[in-house]
């Protein structure tokens, strides 16, 4: 398993590795899913904070 931070910092490195194996670039999809996950986590934390205030 690769570190998502490393994939975000060096997407060309990972895409070149996948290209050598005959695969299409995967980092745009991975980074997109990670951004969505981060946004959802932020939303969950905001909702939990509002719940705790109530």
Per residue in 2-50, pLDDT tens? 899 999 999 999 999 999 999 999 999 999 999 999 999 999 999 999 9
Which domain range does residue 15 map to? 4-53
Q: Is the pLDDT of residue 1 over 90?
A: no
As to burial, measured by CB atoms within 10 angstroms (0-12 exposed, 13-18 middle, 19+ buried), residue 27 is middle
Q: Are 15 and 26 in contact (CB under 8 A)?
A: yes
Phi, psi torsion values for 9, nearest 5 degrees: -80, -30
Contacts of 30 (CB under 8 A, 6+ apart): 4, 7
**What is the distance between the alpha carbons of residues 50 and 54, in angstroms, rounded to a whole number?**
6
Q: Report how many domains make up the chain.
A: 1
């Amino acid at each position: 398993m690769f570190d998502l931070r490393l994939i975000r910092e060096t997407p060309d490195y990972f895409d070149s590795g996948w290209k050598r194996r005959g695969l299409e670039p995967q980092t745009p999809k991975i980074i997109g899913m990670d951004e969505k996950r981060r946004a959802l986590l932020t939303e969950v934390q905001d909702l939990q904070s509002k719940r705790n205030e109530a």
